[in-house]
Structure 1
Amino acid sequence: MPHVLVLNASYEPLGVVSVRRALILLLNDKAVSLESTGALMRSATHAIPAPSVVRLKRFVRVPYRSAVPLTRRALFARDGGRCAYCGGVATSVDHVIPRSRGGQHAWDNVVAACRSCNHIKADRQVAELGWRLRHQPGPPSGLAWRIIGTGHRDPRWLPYLQPYGADDALARIEGRSA
Structure 2
Amino acid sequence: MAQTYVLVLNASYEPLQRVSLRHAIKMLVREVAVIEEEDEGTFGPFPRPKVLRLIRYVVARWKHRRSHLCTKSAVKARDKMCAYCGGQAETVDHIVPRSRGGTLTWDNAVAACLRCNHRKANRTPHEAGMTLLITPSAPPSGFLL
TM value normalised by structure 1: 0.58
Higher helix share: 1
Flag structure 1 segments of 5+ consecutive residues without an equivalent.
147-178
Measured in 1, the distance between the counterparts of 2:76 and 2:34 equals 32
- Please tell me whether Structure 1 or Structure 2 has the larger radius of gyration of its CA atoms: 1
> What is residue 54 of structure 1 aligned with on the other side?
52
Aligned 8 A contact 1:68 1:141 in 2: no
**Pairwise CA distance, 1:12:** 1.3
Of the three residues 5, 8, 11, the one matched with 1:6 is 8
**Displacement of 1:92:** 5.3
Which ranges of structure 2 fall in alignment gaps of 5 or more residues?
Answer: none
Query: Percent identity, aligned pairs only?
Result: 43
Distance in 2, matches of 1:90 and 1:38, equals 26
**8 Å Cα contact 2:67/2:143 also seen in 1:** no
- Residue aligned with 2:25, SS: helix
Tell me the secondary structure at the aligned position of residue 51 of structure 2: strand
| Residues 2 and 110 of structure 1: CA distance in aligned 2, closer, same or farther (over 3 Å) | closer
Structure 2 counterpart of 1:116, one-letter code: R
Alpha carbons 1:8, 1:14 under 8 Å: kept? yes
Match of 2:106 in 1: 107
Which residue in the other structure is 2:139 paired with?
A: 140
TM-score w.r.t. length of structure 2: 0.69
Per-residue CA deviation, residues 43-65 of structure 1 (Å, 9 max, x unaligned), is: xxxx4322211111111122231
Report the count of equivalent residues. 137
Aligned residue number for residue 80 of structure 1: 80
Shift in alpha-carbon separation, 1:63–1:39, aligned structure 2, 3 A: same
Over residues 14-60 of structure 1, what are the superposed CA-to-partner deviations in whole Å (9 max), with x where a residue is unaligned? Answer: 11223332223223221121111142344xxxx43222111111111
State the 1:97 CA deviation: 4.2
CA-to-aligned-CA distance 1:73-112 (integer Å, 9 cap, x gap): 3323433341x34556666543334567665431122123
> How many angstroms does 1:66 deviate by?
4.6
2-structure distance, mates of 1:48, 1:99: 44
